[in-house]
Amino acid sequence: MGEQQHVKFPQEVIDEYAALGVDLPALFSAGHLGTRMGVQILEASAERVVGTMPVEGNTQPYGLLHGGASAVLAETLGSIGSMLHGGSSKIAVGVDLNCTHHRGVRSGVVTGVATPVHRGRTTATYEIVITDESDKRVCTARLTCLLRDVNPGDEEIIRSAS
């Protein structure tokens, strides 16, 4: 996903994952879908995740930012926050995503900021606010993730993702 090495993570989180041989910037991305859509993660902690996405290439037939593109950005940011909240012993799996689209955007870059609404032992819910370059709200989303224990086969999948 571009320049992922510039993501700001809390040092204790970097240390926790490094001990497992996991590259956080590679793990906390939208994967191949995010690469195609140009999603970039700028800042990541359990308290706040910030990312951007270009409008160009992510539009619907009328030339507006596609609502599904906003959903991809929102789910990516909320999932990263949930994963960081759960720690290295948990995997975050999205179970509910709700998006309200407030205004259309035709160009530029949108920025999403995910902040926690609830952080429990088995679920985490984040509100994600997506704004345009004029700081006007484009979309408000809410994502709930199930936090499940890492199973024996999951470690290899996590390592190979990074």
Average pLDDT over residues 65-82: 96
Neighbours of 76 (CB within 10 A): 28
**pTM here?**
0.85
Per-residue confidence (pLDDT) for residue 118, from 0 to 100: 98
pLDDT tens readout for residues 83-140? 999 998 899 999 999 999 999 999 999 999 999 999 999 999 999 999 999 999 999 9
Q: Which residues are catalytic?
A: 75
